[in-house]
Amino acid sequence: MSKLIKEDIDKFFIAQFESFENSLNGESKKPLHSKRKTAIDNFKEVGFPHAKHEEYKYSNVAKIFSKLFDVENLSDDSFSLSLDEAAKYFIPELNAIRLVFINGVLDSKLSDLDTLPKGVHIQAIKTAADDYADDFEKHFNTHKIEGADNFSELNTAFTNGGVFVKIDANAVVETPIACYYFNDAKNADVISQPRNLVIAEKNSQASLIESYVTLGENTSFTNAVTEIVIEDDCIFNYYKYQNESDQAIQVGATMVHQLGKSVFNGVTLSLNGAMLRNNLNIAIHKEHSETNMYGLYLLDGKTHVDNHTVVDHKVANCESNEMYKGILDGQSRGVFNGKIFVRQDAQKTNAFQSNRNVVLSDDAEVDTKPQLEIWADDVQCSHGATVGQLDLDQLFYLRARGIDKQTAKSMLLNAFASDVLSNIKIEAFRTLIENKINERL
């Protein structure tokens, strides 16, 4: 396999698009396809993000892609997964509306599509584009948002296998919707680009979990985009969980459009992967909304995790809270970039941001950068970032009471992580994460 330069990667994806387009037959006349075509044209302008792009300065996706990915050895679509095998990766004891994706494509046999609770509509995004044409016209890739980049364009261009979720007005959905994305890297490298649209209609409540797994030792490249549209008086909880293989590259975005007065809670949990880049882009369109963003990255080996968050306060009287925490061991690398926009109209905004890191080894590294752009004058904003080591006084205090070093370390790191973990409101899920952390620490 020869090493690809960025231009080769661009060409590869453009060629992929052409063959994808050829496979679409009659579909290419539909409105969805004109969105795809616009997106690939936009993508072509600057191509695959790499280190020369400011937002990818610390996360050279092109470089790791060319290092790990073999475009001549691509997985075909013949893979199927048994429910038993898939179940090993489900969140234990979780009662959920389960959606299973294979290589980015919703698998209706492994998913709970027949037994949906009242007020919940779920179907493949391709057919939903027809069946919910009005919703699509209104919401699919129509809301401009800060932080969208060329990976988002690439994802839009390949919109095909994702899912459409709609929560009806006034529905309170107690069962979380759990999306499990499986990549088949058993015999060859794999690309998956799930594209989802979630609409929470007014006065509804729901929770969405997204979990990513690569099976096998080959490389996977996931470029996932989930758009979430939130109307008035909604509470929407979102969880992203990444415990990927060492050969998994993941980029993509969660784009949250708080169109109505609403509450959004997001928790991003990153435990493993080659390179994981999470864009969390949130736009607040209506007054008296609340936005909470929490994140924990617990890294070792060579895992590289980059969280780029944007919260765009467009209107007055809203509050955003952000707390990301990192624990880094081995040769891992953490990147945090938190942007807060407070527009001229967004008076009386409260925006808080913190990013704290504990570095456990000499070779681990953190880059953290808050970016505040404030155009209004009557606002309260604060931000803080710390990078430190385990506190030796605390460690000694625990040990002086008979607690061995390993346990003491684990207690301190769990305590450090606890104010992120306490925001996981789904108990079975929180238990799983706590167990994973304990295994690691």
Partner 1 sequence: MLSIKDLHASIEGKEILKGINLEVKPGEVHAIMGPNGSGKSTLASVLAGREDYTVDSGEITFNGKDLLELEADERAKEGVFLAFQYPIEIPGVTTTNFMKTALNKIREYKGLEPLDAVSFLGQMKEKMKLVEIDQSLLSRSLNEGFSGGEKKRNEIFQMAMLEPTLAVLDETDSGLDIDALRIVANGVNKLKNDDNATIVVTHYQRLLDYIVPDFVHVLFDGKIVKTGGKELAHQLEEKGYDWIKEEAGVA
Q: Structure tokens of 283? A: 């736009």
Closest CB to partner 1 among 2 and 392? 392
Q: Is the dihedral of CA 296, 211, 293, 279 positive or negative?
A: positive
Closest CB to partner 1 among 26 and 400? 400
Closest CB to partner 1 among 215 and 412? 412
CB of 398 to partner 1, least distance (A): 7
Instruction: Report the C-alpha gap between 75 and 273 in whole angstroms.
Output: 19
Closest CB to partner 1 among 375 and 396? 396
Closest CB to partner 1 among 343 and 436? 436
| 334, 305 Cβ separation under 8 angstroms | yes
Closest CB to partner 1 among 179 and 408? 408
β-pairing, 220-230 with 195-200? parallel
User: By the criterion CB under 8 A, which residues form the site for partner 1?
Assistant: 392-394, 396-405, 407-408, 411-412, 414-416, 418-419
CB of 247 to partner 1, least distance (A): 34
Q: Structure tokens of 71? A: 């475009």
CB of 167 to partner 1, least distance (A): 35
Closest CB to partner 1 among 191 and 267? 267
Angle at 344 between CA 53 and CA 377, to 5 degrees: 110
CB of 29 to partner 1, least distance (A): 58
Q: How many CB atoms lie within 10 A of CB 121?
A: 16
What number of helices (H) and strands (E) belong to the chain?
Answer: 10, 20
> Measuring CA to CA, which residue among 214, 112, 206 is closest to residue 163?
112
> Measuring CA to CA, which residue among 216, 224, 274 is closest to residue 249?
274
Closest CB to partner 1 among 361 and 407? 407
The position carrying tokens 């009471």 is 401
DSSP states of 164-199: EEEE-TT-B--SPEEEEEEEE-SSSBEEE--EEEEE
CB of 394 to partner 1, least distance (A): 5
CB of 393 to partner 1, least distance (A): 5
CB of 126 to partner 1, least distance (A): 46
Query: From the centroid of its chain, how far is CA 108?
Result: 22
CB of 91 to partner 1, least distance (A): 24
Q: Is the dihedral of CA 417, 418, 424, 426 positive or negative?
A: positive
Query: From the centroid of its chain, how far is CA 199?
Result: 17
Closest CB to partner 1 among 301 and 388? 388
CB of 405 to partner 1, least distance (A): 7
Instruction: Report the C-alpha gap between 217 and 222 in whole angstroms.
Output: 15
Question: Dmax of the chain from CA atoms?
Answer: 73
